[in-house]
Amino acid sequence: MCADEVLSRCSGLALESLIEPGGRQVQYFVTGCAGFIGSNLVDRLLQDGHEVIGYDNFATGQPEFLVSAQQSSHFRLQQGDLLDVECLTQAMRGADLVFHDRFSVRRA
């Protein structure tokens, strides 16, 4: 599945219409952002001019998948585990929309 497919599956959300009247950009929160799908999704959202917070514990994620994203001032990376509720809650504060790309989460 590619980022375009993920976004097209979400087309019912009319993402562009989420830009607030005052012009404030929607802030997206992407879990599993250093993975295959997550990193492509992050790149696509940034390319479309959005603000993105990426969240990943780098269990299998690749830092090099985020090289392009990290050059953008619209991207913020938070390393953390989805099971760390405190870290997760803190990281996603202010986000308008969540792409939960890490579908299953298990305790190690």
Ligand X SMILES: NC(=O)c1ccc[n+]([C@@H]2O[C@H](COP(=O)([O-])OP(=O)(O)OC[C@H]3O[C@@H](n4cnc5c(N)ncnc54)[C@H](O)[C@@H]3O)[C@@H](O)[C@H]2O)c1
Residues that bind ligand X (CB under 6 A): 1, 32, 34-38, 56-61, 81-83, 101-105
Three-state secondary-structure class, residue 25 = coil
Whose Cβ is closer to ligand X: residue 25's or residue 78's? 78
Three-state secondary-structure class, residue 18 = helix
Residue 73 Cβ vs ligand X, minimum distance, rounded to whole Å: 22
The CB-nearest residue to ligand X is 35
Residue 35 Cβ vs ligand X, minimum distance, rounded to whole Å: 2
Whose Cβ is closer to ligand X: residue 43's or residue 101's? 101
Residue 70 Cβ vs ligand X, minimum distance, rounded to whole Å: 15
Residues belonging to the chain: 108
Residue 24 Cβ vs ligand X, minimum distance, rounded to whole Å: 27
Q: Which amino acid is at 61?
A: G
d(CA 4, CA 57): 24
Whose Cβ is closer to ligand X: residue 16's or residue 84's? 84
Largest interatomic CA distance in the chain: 44
d(CA 13, CA 65): 27
Whose Cβ is closer to ligand X: residue 1's or residue 13's? 1
d(CA 103, CA 66): 20
